[in-house]
């Protein structure tokens, strides 16, 4: 994993981003010789965070739908109901 300090990041952000795009490995950003942040590629970000959140939301929606109780119509067929709705 490549490490850059905050000053290097400010002075050469374009080069750091180019390196990130080419190699794809996270880049550790240090501040006062201590790790402060990590830069990850957009692909990694989407795989690790965005897609995970979307999957969790999908699971919640599916669970809600499964929890709903649907009642069948008391009279008539589906075709009769559609005819009533259209008129």
What pTM, to 2 d.p., does this model score? Answer: 0.56
Q: Which residue in this structure is represented by tokens 């897609």?
A: 51
Question: Is the residue at 9 inside a domain?
Answer: yes
| Segments forming the whole domain that contains residue 39 | 2-67
Question: Is the residue at 37 inside a domain?
Answer: yes
pLDDT of residue 79: 81
34: CATH: 3.40.1620.10
Question: Is the residue at 75 inside a domain?
Answer: no
Q: Under a CB-based contact definition with an 8 Å cutoff, are residues 46 and 23 in contact?
A: no
φ, ψ of residue 39 to 5 degrees: the values are -100, 130
Give dist(CA 7, CA 12) in Å, integer: 9
76: helix, strand or coil:
coil
Structure confidence by residue, pLDDT tens digits, 15-41: 999 999 999 899 999 999 999 999 999
**Total domain count for the chain?**
1
Question: Is the residue at 72 inside a domain?
Answer: no
Helices (H) and strands (E) in the chain, counts: 5, 3
What is the separation of C-alpha 26 from the centre of its chain, rounded to a whole number of angstroms? 18
């Amino acid at each position: 994993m490549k490490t850059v300090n905050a000053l290097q990041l400010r002075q050469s952000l374009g080069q750091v981003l180019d390196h990130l795009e080419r190699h794809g490995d996270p880049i550790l950003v240090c501040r006062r010789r201590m790790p402060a942040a990590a830069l990850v590629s957009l692909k990694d970000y989407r795989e690790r965070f965005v897609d995970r959140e979307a999957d969790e939301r999908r699971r919640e929606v599916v669970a809600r739908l499964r929890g709903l109780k649907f009642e069948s119509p008391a009279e008539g067929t589906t075709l009769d109901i559609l005819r009533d709705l259209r008129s």
